[in-house]
Structure 1
């Protein structure tokens, strides 16, 4: 039994997939399968039940998973504490909305308090950031939604209003005179954020709360670039549900029209996502404590 076998096993159980585990570990799927087969031979017990469609964990497999996950956590913490680079470097994952409206002021405020700390940030969609925090690629994340990811904690830090953004054209200006334009607006051509976007997840929640499904929208494009999506709206392609913070300037400059989602604003939470404290470096814990004080939460 070695650390590579345990790592392959933990990732396979976590994602319930040999292929996803291989992708996350940058290994081939046969290599991951071989690691787990060797573990089962060494332990003389079946760890996973495999069928053509499902993958489940046996009682013995669950016991091994608990121990293996703890071993990997301890290894990760040892690396963090013994690496000089990691002691002064914080890796932060951030999704599109928090990257513009939370991250800059947060980093500036913390830099003033701890100028010796260096930051490395990476911007992607919310679900990717959550996965990176879960597998320790990032120390902490700033995201626009939360999931049931077992290896992560979510701390709400502020609210973000979602609105309908529409082209500033006579056709859409006519909606401004209507007392309740929402139903009619949602029949217009719709531009949607990509599947892993926090905005997309919150859009689905909004539709569900209003008895609607995505299939009832006239979705003409799915886009992973928020800036390009806004530009397409301004050019008249259609509407979208977006963060007010990301489109407020465009509305003030006359490029877009904004409509609230119903009679009351639809607010979503923005979150700090972080792993269990035992997996965090001292620097990451200090940064998390600073965030709690900064936003007066926790």
Structure 2
């Protein structure tokens, strides 16, 4: 049985169309048909039913599909492992990381880690915080760095640090020195509030703000880096974790607003793991230099 037959079968099952499968695999459509025919002969049963220009899986095809997907996944994992070994890696550590963490504190930490442990291959998968615990639980990754605490007895969730949340606005191009601080009341009365780019604190934060500013206009912007760009362009203002805007504040592209209506929330970051391996223990010990609470 040829692996090319398996790949053609899985791709055709995904698109339910031989032409689209051929385009995805950069093959001629008759080649896909030949691969499927050979695979059906090897299995001894039809895998697809033709319905005009499209195809649907037969009961046999549906039953065989997960095995075919597993075959491909095993092959591709093996190729990646060998390639990593050629590059000098002897161990692997896979992380699921929220976009906020990936764009703020993680780069400098990982740079130091890979310099200190060059034989550990680090794989970073950027996931929404709501999905990270599931990835760790299902074994898709070794550990997670999330903005949401994991729930479940089989997962260990450790608070790494808490990040102050601040109100930020764009720089309007005026003089920075000698100018009065931005007026929070004026901004909240007239500006668009960019919201829900953090998974936990926005519901309570908006509830408190709207007690004083019931007509506050809002726009959902689900990614921090997009929210920052919108603020720089003058589209609105927002509450962001300080670590995510540190560089922009230093460079003057964003300005912190003196907000005193109430104490803003904090954005927590959690370490999530299910089991312990040598690689996880190594990374945990390394991270403890920055965040002692992990030990």
TM-score normalised by the shorter chain: which range applies? 0.5 to 0.7
SS of corresponding position for 1:138: coil
Q: Please say which structure displays the higher CA radius of gyration.
A: 2
| Distance in structure 1 (CA, Å) of the matches to 2:266 and 2:94 | 28
Q: Which runs of 5+ in 2 are unaligned?
A: 1-58, 64-80
Match of 2:232 in 1: 234
Q: Which runs of 5+ in 1 are unaligned?
A: 1-30, 36-82
SS of corresponding position for 1:136: coil
CA contact (8 A) 1:133 1:274 kept: yes
Alignment partner for residue 98 of structure 1, among 98, 101, 123? 101
CA contact (8 A) 1:94 1:123 kept: yes
Richer in helix (by share)? 1
1:118-148 residue CA offsets vs partner (Å, 9 max, x unmatched): 1110112211223212222111111223243
CA contact (8 A) 1:186 1:217 kept: yes
Q: Quick one: structure 1 residues 176 and 241, their matched pair in 2 at CA, closer, same or farther if it must change by over 3 Å?
A: same
* 1:281 lines up with 2:262 in the alignment: no
Q: Quick one: structure 1 residues 132 and 109, their matched pair in 2 at CA, closer, same or farther if it must change by over 3 Å?
A: same
SS of corresponding position for 2:181: helix
Q: Quick one: structure 1 residues 238 and 212, their matched pair in 2 at CA, closer, same or farther if it must change by over 3 Å?
A: same
Q: TM-score, normalised by structure 1?
A: 0.56
Match of 2:111 in 1: 108
SS of corresponding position for 1:233: helix
Match of 2:141 in 1: 138
| Distance in structure 1 (CA, Å) of the matches to 2:215 and 2:131 | 27
| Distance in structure 2 (CA, Å) of the matches to 1:239 and 1:282 | 44
* 1:290 lines up with 2:292 in the alignment: no
Write the mapping of 1:25-44 to structure 2, written as runs, cut at 5 A: none
Q: Quick one: structure 1 residues 241 and 175, their matched pair in 2 at CA, closer, same or farther if it must change by over 3 Å?
A: farther
| Distance in structure 1 (CA, Å) of the matches to 2:214 and 2:129 | 23
Aligned length: 208
SS of corresponding position for 1:163: strand
> What's the Cα RMSD here?
3.9
Tell me the CA shift for residue 177 of structure 1: 5.7
1:191-230 residue CA offsets vs partner (Å, 9 max, x unmatched): 1235xxxx2412334345678599974223x223322222
Match of 2:268 in 1: 269
Q: TM-score, normalised by structure 2?
A: 0.57
Match of 1:225 in 2: 223
Q: Quick one: structure 1 residues 216 and 152, their matched pair in 2 at CA, closer, same or farther if it must change by over 3 Å?
A: farther
Write the mapping of 1:123-272 to structure 2, written as runs, cut at 5 A: 123-169=126-172, 176=181, 178=183, 181=184, 185=188, 188-194=191-197, 199-207=198-206, 217-220=216-219, 222-259=220-257, 261-262=259-260, 266-272=265-271
| Distance in structure 2 (CA, Å) of the matches to 1:288 and 1:120 | 16
Match of 1:78 in 2: none
SS of corresponding position for 1:201: coil
CA contact (8 A) 2:147 2:199 kept: no
CA contact (8 A) 2:96 2:144 kept: yes
CA contact (8 A) 2:181 2:258 kept: no
